[in-house]
Amino acid sequence: MSLFKDTFFYSLAKWGHRLSTIILAPFIIRYFTPQQYGYMSLINTLGAFFAMIGMLAIVDQGLPRFFIDTDDLFEKQSYASTSLLISGVGILVMTGIILAGYPLIPLFFEEIQAPFLFCLLTALVGLGHSMRHVGGNMLKWTFQSARFTRITLVQALTILCLTICGMLVWKWRANGAILIASTVTLICGIWAISYSKQYLKLSTFSKPKSKELIAYSWPLLGLNIFAFFTRSLDRLFLAALTSLGTVGIFAVASAVASLFETLLAGFFFAWGPFILSTFRKPESPQRYADFFGVTACIGLMSIVTLGFWGSPVVMLLRPEGTYLEIGVYIPWIVSGALLYYLGGYFTPGPNIVKKTYWKFLGFVLAAALNAILNYLLIPRLGILGAGLATTAASLAAAIFNITVSNRLYYIPLKWHLAFSVILLYAATVSYIQYTGTFYLSLYSRFFATICMMGIALLIYQRDIKASKILQIVWK
């Protein structure tokens, strides 16, 4: 398996998907009010959360560890079959729970007028997300990145065309857009699963292997849940403590900030399998550390670029100023995501030695901190409080995970420097945007962008050279 090849295909898929999202975003921002956008964001957030619980972390955590450990084809098929069955049962159970919980919606979100329709759409989003995630991971861990790319691009193009036509021709709003997107996602997830079944020639369910998979995965399900809380709890608190309009503004800022994750999505998709298959090489720890520095550098440049230029671009679509202040929030959202990835993807120790409960504990602490800070800061600072809470929680999780992971599998990460500079950059860009400079001239934005990006490159020039970032092929 070549890291370069898989990174290319996964990047192509994610960039294709993100490109469709970028093309669709202007229509949504232009035709949807912040309240409608917030409604969509809340449904997608809850749908993704319940889907994650239903999948039980089997296909993204348990399957790869046992799949890679064995060379026997029948064993691989047995693990894959068992993973699919367990995930399928969990997904169906969670779908039923979502539909049965509609009487509770008004207790948490007062602005929701049709609770059952809200839960129905949430269940459909969760089902589509689950099937896509299961199918995508099956292709990922059987190293079928090209097929994964094909399916993802078809999905993105179909959703893009149907949604734009729906908004412009049939006057769809939030419900229609959610319905068509989740349906297409569900179909493409089934398509991906059928591909993986064909490739693996899946065998029968194995009760002993189900116990192995669940025993390994349950701590990582907790990790996934609390990682979700660390990064997405802010939307739920904003919806409960403020309004759907505030959630909509936060969703626009998050959509701009997510371009950072898109930039590195292909790398992250390829990185997990790559680490588990190469960590025994003596040169691996230093190589991982080099890529850590490169990732931190890309993150710093993303904080600067998206922070300074996200707001002016969105204002072209909403010149009346609906989303004017997002430039203050974007740096904190990007820094939270960057800290999350640095602390999650460069800490393979628990996975390597099969002590995944350590990561579970790290994210429990981070999620608890995130909940407390959201509750305290959102009533006082609004969206900025949500961004600060997520960044602080991600920082706590990253420090904990790196400390534990390095005791189990040491990587010479320069995380003290990285985390300090990340926080400094986020604070600087956010402060410049906040202190009466919403209307920075294009020249001022350009000058500030070039200076701060240049500093980031100087800080990490050694890591960039050592990683040979332009020649990412590990033989």
Distance, CA of 409 to CA of 349 (rounded, Å): 5
Summarize pLDDT for 269-303 with one digit per residue, the tens. 677 777 877 888 888 889 889 989 999 999 999 99
Q: Which residues contact 68 (CB under 8 A, 6 or more apart)?
A: 141, 273, 276, 277
Distance, CA of 366 to CA of 34 (rounded, Å): 29
Angle between helices 115-141 and 145-168 (to 10 degrees): 150
| Residue 236 φ/ψ, nearest 5 degrees | -65, -40
| Residue 177 φ/ψ, nearest 5 degrees | -65, -40
| Residue 356 φ/ψ, nearest 5 degrees | -70, -10
Q: Which residues contact 427 (CB under 8 A, 6 or more apart)?
A: 331
Please name the residue that has the structure tokens 């009487």.
103
Summarize pLDDT for 63-77 with one digit per residue, the tens. 777 776 777 777 777
DSSP 470: G
Q: Count Cβ neighbours within 10 Å for each residue of 136-169 and write b for 16 or more, e otherwise.
A: bbbbbbbbbbebbbbbbbebbebbbebbbebbee
Q: DSSP secondary structure string, 94-136?
A: HHHHHHHTGGGHHHH-TT-S-HHHHHHHHHHHHHHHHHHHHHH
For residue 376, give both structure tokens: 């305290």
Reading the chain (475 residues) residue by residue, the pLDDT tens digits are 455 666 666 666 666 666 666 677 777 777 777 888 888 888 988 888 888 887 777 777 777 777 767 777 777 777 777 877 888 888 888 888 889 988 988 888 888 888 999 999 999 998 888 888 888 777 776 666 677 788 888 888 888 888 888 777 767 677 788 888 888 888 888 888 887 776 666 666 667 777 777 777 776 676 677 767 777 788 888 988 888 888 888 888 888 888 887 777 667 767 777 787 788 888 888 988 998 999 999 999 999 999 998 888 777 766 666 677 888 999 999 999 999 889 988 998 887 887 877 877 877 888 889 999 999 999 999 899 999 998 999 999 899 999 999 999 999 999 999 999 999 999 999 998 888 655 567 788 888 899 999 999 999 988 888 876 544 434 4
Confirm whether pTM is higher than 0.75.
no
What is the identity of the amino acid at 227?
Answer: A
DSSP 377: H
| Residue 402 φ/ψ, nearest 5 degrees | -65, -40
Please name the residue that has the structure tokens 């936060």.
250
Say if CB 243 and CB 111 are below 8 A apart: yes
| Nearest in space to 371 (alpha carbons), one of 218, 226, 250 | 226
What is the identity of the amino acid at 73?
Answer: L
Q: Report the chain's C-alpha Rg in angstroms.
A: 22
Distance, CA of 257 to CA of 216 (rounded, Å): 33
3-state secondary structure of 18: helix
Say if CB 398 and CB 335 are below 8 A apart: no
Say if CB 67 and CB 272 are below 8 A apart: no
Say if CB 189 and CB 133 are below 8 A apart: yes
Summarize pLDDT for 19-32 with one digit per residue, the tens. 666 677 777 777 77
Please name the residue that has the structure tokens 């602390």.
343
Summarize pLDDT for 124-164 with one digit per residue, the tens. 998 888 888 888 777 776 666 677 788 888 888 888 888 88
Say if CB 253 and CB 98 are below 8 A apart: no
| Residue 409 φ/ψ, nearest 5 degrees | -155, 105
**With pLDDT > 90 as the criterion, what percentage of the chain qualifies?**
21
For residue 326, give both structure tokens: 């997002």
Say if CB 360 and CB 216 are below 8 A apart: no
For residue 404, give both structure tokens: 């534990």
Say if CB 128 and CB 185 are below 8 A apart: yes
Q: Could you tell me how far CA 157 lies from the centroid of its own chain?
A: 20
